[in-house]
Amino acid sequence: MSALVLLRHGQSEWNLANRFTGWVDVDLTPKGEAEAKKSGELLAACNIEFDQAYTSMQTRAIRTLWFALSEMERTWLPITKDYRLNERHYGGLTGLDKAETMKKHGKEQVHIWRRSYDIPPPEMNWDDPLNPCRDRRYAGLGRDVLPNTESLKTTLERVLPYYQGQIEPKLASGQNILISAHGNSLRALIKYLFVVADEKIVEIEIPTGNPLLIELGADQKPIAVKYLDQDRAKTLPEIK
Short-list 110, 107, 200, 118, CA closest to 153: 118
9: annotated active-site residue: yes
Residue 124 lies in a domain: no
Q: Which one, of 6, 2, 3, lies nearest residue 54 by Cα?
A: 6
pLDDT confidence of residue 240? 80
Query: pLDDT in tens for each of the 240 residues of the chain?
Result: 899 999 999 999 999 999 999 999 999 999 999 999 999 999 999 999 999 999 999 999 999 999 999 999 999 999 999 999 999 999 999 999 998 888 878 888 988 888 889 999 999 999 999 999 999 999 999 999 999 999 999 999 999 999 999 999 999 999 999 999 999 999 999 999 999 999 999 889 999 999 999 999 989 999 999 999 999 988 888 898
190 within domain boundaries? yes
**Sign of the alpha-carbon torsion through 229, 79, 72, 169:** positive
> What is the residue type of 157?
E
Coil vs helix vs strand at 185? helix
CB 235 within 8 A of CB 203: yes
Look at residue 202 and tell me if it is in a domain.
Answer: yes
Catalytic residue among 71, 87, 150, 168, which? 87
Domain of residue 59: give its range: 2-89+150-232
For residue 117, being part of any structural domain is answered with no
Active site residue 41: no
Domain assignment present for 116: no
- Is the residue at 144 inside a domain? no
Number of structural domains in the chain: 1
Phi/psi of residue 231, nearest 5 degrees: -70, -20
Cβ neighbours, 10 Å, residue 118: 10
pLDDT value of residue 100: 87
**Is pTM, for the whole model, over 0.75?**
yes
Indicate which residue of 9, 35, 150, 182 is catalytic: 9
| 240 in a structural domain | no
37 neighbors 65 (Cβ within 8 angstroms): no
> Residue 27 is part of a domain; what is its CATH number?
3.40.50.1240
Residue 127 is assigned to a structural domain of this protein: no
